[in-house]
Amino acid sequence: MRKSPKEIEVENEILAMLSGKPAIAASLIFNDEEAQALRNYANTVSIKRLGYNDHGPVHMSKTALNALIMFDILSKGGIKFNLEEEKIGTAEDSKVAVLISSLLHDVGMSVGRENHELLGAVFATPIIERTLTRIYDKDIEKKTIVHSLIVEGIAGHMATQDIHSLEAGLVSIGDGCDMEKGRARIIFLLSRTPKVGDIHKYSANSIEKVEIIEGEEKLIRIIVEMTESVGFFQIEEVLFPKILANPAKPYIELYGKVTGEEMRRYL
């Protein structure tokens, strides 16, 4: 299965950030034919059948990239993730979980939008199983723990149910941060006919840039830059709810800015 230049570009960005077990996990997922087929088909259903934004391999990889950036900022700031804090794993194990759940979080879109976060955990199971088997070999306990954390990240990314780990929290926020206008490009090309739900594609199309950097008052600063105020819909209806009930909320500064206007702070 051929990959687009953008997909390859984001995969290479991810691989450049990783070493050890997370690097092995990324390589295995990127070269897994079932994972590739599911990610591609999820995008076909999302864009062509449902008329939604990108939910395919580029989006899932960008979600992983966003989550990894936040992961590294928190690690640099001395924050321990749940597995290390609870003395049942290492930061490296946590990164494996964040990475895999991000890369597979939307595979449930291959069925449809409703409950796709829960269906995704089902579809991803064989991929997770063989990937973790390669990484953890005979360490059944560690493999089981990391698998459970991955499922939490996939099932919890929509903020439709409570999540309880910082690892899963980063997956949800990483997903919400992928809102730049390129994500709505294909659906704009396919259809200009007005319909209910268009606010999602128009608001996404106004987002120029989402920056995830080290914060000043808190460890992570997220800045959403847009050309039109309709972009605030993406912050207020998509990203903000994912942060509000999130274990990572205490570490997040959130800003929105229309070009030429003052920055608006949410958190």
AA identity, residue 238: V
User: Could you give the angle at the alpha carbon of 4 between the alpha carbons of 21 and 41, nearest 5°?
Assistant: 80
Do residues 181 and 204 make contact, with C-beta atoms less than 8 angstroms apart?
yes
The pLDDT assigned to 189 comes to 44
d(CA 80, CA 142): 18
Q: Considering the entire predicted model, what is its pTM?
A: 0.92
Query: In the 8-state DSSP scheme, what is residue 47?
Result: I
The answer to whether 146 and 233 have CB atoms below 8 angstroms apart is no
SS3 222: strand
Instruction: Name the domain count of the chain.
Output: 1
pLDDT for the residue 167: 98
- The candidate with the shortest Cα–Cα distance to 168, out of 101, 221, 235, 106, is 101
Domain limits for position 100: 5-265
Spatial separation of the C-alpha atoms in residues 152 and 164, rounded to whole Å? 8
Q: Nearest 5°: phi and psi at 224?
A: -105, 115
- The first and second tokens of residue 52, run together, are 């939604």
- Cβ-contact 246, 172 below 8 angstroms: yes
- Quickly tell me which residue has 């990203």 as its tokens: 239
> Looking at residue 78, what is its pLDDT?
98
pLDDT score, position 198: 56
Grouped pLDDT means (10 residues each) for the chain, 267 residues:
92 98 98 97 90 87 98 98 98 98 97 95 98 96 98 96 96 94 50 53 84 98 95 92 96 96 95
